[in-house]
Amino acid sequence: MEKNYKISVNFSDGSFEIESTDFKWIERKEKEYLRKFGSLPPKKVRDSEAVGGKERTSVHFSKTLPPQLAINEFYKKYVSTIKSRPIIGVFLLYYLQKIKKQDEIETTDIQQCFKAVAYPNWNRLNITDILTRAKRRALVNYVNKQWSLTATGEDFVLNAISGK
């Protein structure tokens, strides 16, 4: 009976699984994918277990931004070079939703972020229009007067943050 090997890599914001009967291929692909995900924290835990004649290996690590990251630091590090207001709005939405763990995000919350980072003429911006343009690109959702990131929007921000 052939052994089937499986590696699961879990991020706080996503995961991937690799499964094959060739363990060396699995290890090569694991290294390749981990390299593609960019800078990873040094702590990595690898668990192996045999389940029903199959060996299962899991790698767990976290790729998140620190929760104490202030909006000004986040803006300066990741957003300040971006000129497109809808993209800036997506980044600010990411900040509120993923870093500050805010569940309900209204238009005024995004406007306060523009104010906090001292965006020029922040009080004259039409935030609804800015986020609606991001919605047309499938980066955000607007349901029950609450804004949220789509999976595409989250991937977009994470790719930009990691430098891809």
State the pTM of this model.
0.61
Residue pair 141/150 in contact by the 8 Å Cβ criterion: yes
Domains belonging to the chain, first-starting first, are 5-60 (3.10.20), 71-161 (1.10.460.10)
Q: Average pLDDT, stretch 119-132? A: 94
Residue partners of 17: CB distance under 8 A and separation at least 6: 6, 7, 8, 9
Q: What angle do CA 107, 110, 116 make, to 5 degrees?
A: 140
pLDDT above 60: residue 49: no
Alpha helices, H only, the chain = 23-36, 71-74, 85-94, 107-116, 127-136, 151-161
> Is residue 142 within a helix (H) or strand (E), and if so which, with residue range?
strand 140-143
What is the rounded CA–CA span in Å between residue 59 and residue 16? 10
What's residue 48's pLDDT?
A: 46
Task: Report pLDDT digits (tens) over 1-31.
Answer: 456 777 777 655 556 677 777 777 777 777 7
Residue pair 95/71 in contact (Cβ under 8 Å)? The answer is yes
What confidence tens digit (pLDDT) does each residue in 56-110 have? 444 444 344 555 788 999 999 899 899 999 999 999 999 999 888 898 999 999 9
